[in-house]
Amino acid sequence: MNGSKLPGAQDAEKSVLAFLKTGLEKRCFEAVMMSHRVPAGDGYAYVLIKDPALLEGASPLPPVIPVQGAKALSALTRWGPPKETILAVMHPCEIRAAVELFKLKQASLDHIVFLSFDCPGVMPLSDYVKNPGEADRTYAAARRKWESAKMRPLCRICNEFVPAASDLHIGLLGAEEGSAWLFPVSPEGRRIMDSVGLETAVSSDAWEREAAERKTVREKERQEAHQVSRDRVSGPDGLLAAFSSCINCHNCMRVCPVCYCRQCYFDSEAFKLPPENYVERARKKGSLRLPADTLLFHLGRMSHMALSCVSCGTCEDACPMDIKVGQIFSLVADNAQKQLNYLPGRSREDPLPASVYQEEELEGVEKPYVETYSRTGDRDGAGSENQ
């Protein structure tokens, strides 16, 4: 794959902004959707920009993910695609989530072109809001050196920081400090580069080598971190302890890009029970924690969305109790996805595993299960205490 070195050598962000400005001016795309600093200067929001002058204050490499970009894209396209091309500048995990939402019929990708970049990770939202000005500077320095110490725990172990289903990709790894490459990943990406007037004559070899090296390191770190999480949360006691301080606000679910249900089952009428139900459960155990069914919520949510979980960490950012919910979900998601050889957001064509029927599937899981329960005679696997 050949790309182009973006003009300008001071700062990669500025080079990208210059490219976007030219693209808007030449009407290669009608508008750009990207992070923009809010008026008070203490945060970022996704903004759809048509007027090139308003790119001032926009940030292709923002230090935080306040709203998961897939959620923003879904808000933009759920009721129909835009009429003309919109270039969406998002972190790779946001693009992967957007592809999942597209498969779940919650977003349209017609007339959407994705621009991704080698993602250095983002800072925890709570760290950022303590002192936004200082955090902006800390982040800018850390991302240039690809230092992950200040980034979110899930960003530190992210191994999918390179393009997945994007059309254009900004290469930062292996580039000289302050400069950036632009690579066309899809035919649509190439068309845009052509129309902006960027020649694609620079080989991507150096970038690919560097990215592959990083990826290998990250994969090892990811496995190590997941092993730590596994040791911590294994078994019912581990899980209970991990979610012990949960206040049941469900904010993890509300910010999750994949949890798109308008009405979550766990907030539905099914969980509004007559008082006798709560009193009876309290009597059985002597004490019932309220709100009830906190752990059930997390396990249920996990089983609903783990196959599409992109490990973006937005859940963890939004938890008022600092529960390591993203790290736990990421561990389970990786395992579930491996079982079905599915990587969420990898391509628009891979069907969602839950939407595909295969007569022979997951025998390794099924067989021991059947054998176990045929031995005990409890075939349906339900606990016998209720019978």
Partner 1 sequence: MAQVLKINKSVDQGLTAFLEFLLKEKKVSGVVTLKKNRGGPGISYALITRPEELDGARPLFPLMPANSGKILSRLTLRGPLKDPIAVVLKPCELRALIELVKRQQGSLENMIFISQTCPGVYPLEMSVDGDLDALASRYQDQVQSGQHIPEIRPACRSCVHFTPQNADIIVSLIAEAGLDRSCSLVLNSKKGEALADGMAGEKREQDLNSQELAHFSDHRKTARLKLFDEMGEKTKGIKGLIGLFGKCIGCHACGNACPICYCNLCFFESQPNESRPNSFRADLEKKGAARIPAGTLFYHVGRLAHMSVSCVGCGMCMDVCPVDIPVGTLFSRVGESVQKTFEYIPGSKIDEPLPVAVFKEEEFAQLGEG
Site residues for partner 1, window 304-333 (CB under 8 A)? Answer: 317-322
- Per DSSP, the three-state class of 145 is coil
- Nearest residue to 5 via CA among 21, 19, 26, 23: 19
- Give the up-direction half-sphere exposure of residue 255: CA atoms within 13 A in the CB hemisphere: 20
For position 114 contacting partner 1 by CB under 8 A, the verdict is no
Q: Which of residues 325-384 bind partner 1 (CB under 8 A)?
A: none
CA distance 193 to 185: 11
Near partner 1 in 287-306, by CB under 8 A: 287-291
Closest CB 90 distance from partner 1, rounded Å: 12
Q: Are strands 86-89 and 112-117 parallel, antiparallel or unpaired?
A: parallel
Extract the tokens encoding 209: 């080598």
Residue 361's Cβ-side half-sphere holds a number of Cα atoms within 13 Å equal to: 9
Residue 113: enclosing H or E segment and its boundaries? strand 112-117
Q: Which of 159, 186, 195, 248 binds partner 1 (CB under 8 A)?
A: 248
Site string for partner 1, 2-41 (x = CB under 8 A): -----------------------------x-x--x-xxx-
Distance of alpha carbon 44 from alpha carbon 13, whole angstroms:
15
Q: Could you tell me which stretch among 137-145, 268-276, 331-339, 378-386 binds partner 1 (CB under 8 A)? A: 268-276
Question: Judged by CB under 8 A, does residue 243 bind partner 1?
Answer: yes
- Between residues 50 and 209, which has the closer beta carbon with respect to partner 1? 50
Helix (H, G, I), strand (E, B) or coil at 56: coil
* Closest distance of CB 42 from partner 1, Å: 5
Q: Which of 140, 217, 249, 356 binds partner 1 (CB under 8 A)?
A: 249
Chosen residue from 255, 258, 309, 325 binding partner 1 by CB under 8 A: 255
Q: How far is the CB of 142 from partner 1 (least distance, A)?
A: 21
CA 226/CA 215 separation, integer angstroms: 16
Q: Which of 12, 17, 28, 76 binds partner 1 (CB under 8 A)?
A: 76
Residues in the chain: 387
Which CB sits closer to partner 1, 61 or 125? Answer: 125
Which residue matches tokens 């991507």? 204
Which one of residues 10, 245, 303, 374 is an interface residue with partner 1 (CB under 8 A)? 245
For the segment 126-155, give every residue that binds partner 1 (CB under 8 A).
126, 129-130
Using alpha carbons, list the distances in angstroms from residue 292 to 99, 165, 246.
Answer: 34, 40, 11
List 12, 15, 20, 46, residue binding partner 1 (CB under 8 A): 46
Residue with tokens 């059985």: 284
Cβ proximity to partner 1: between 52 and 353 the closer is 52
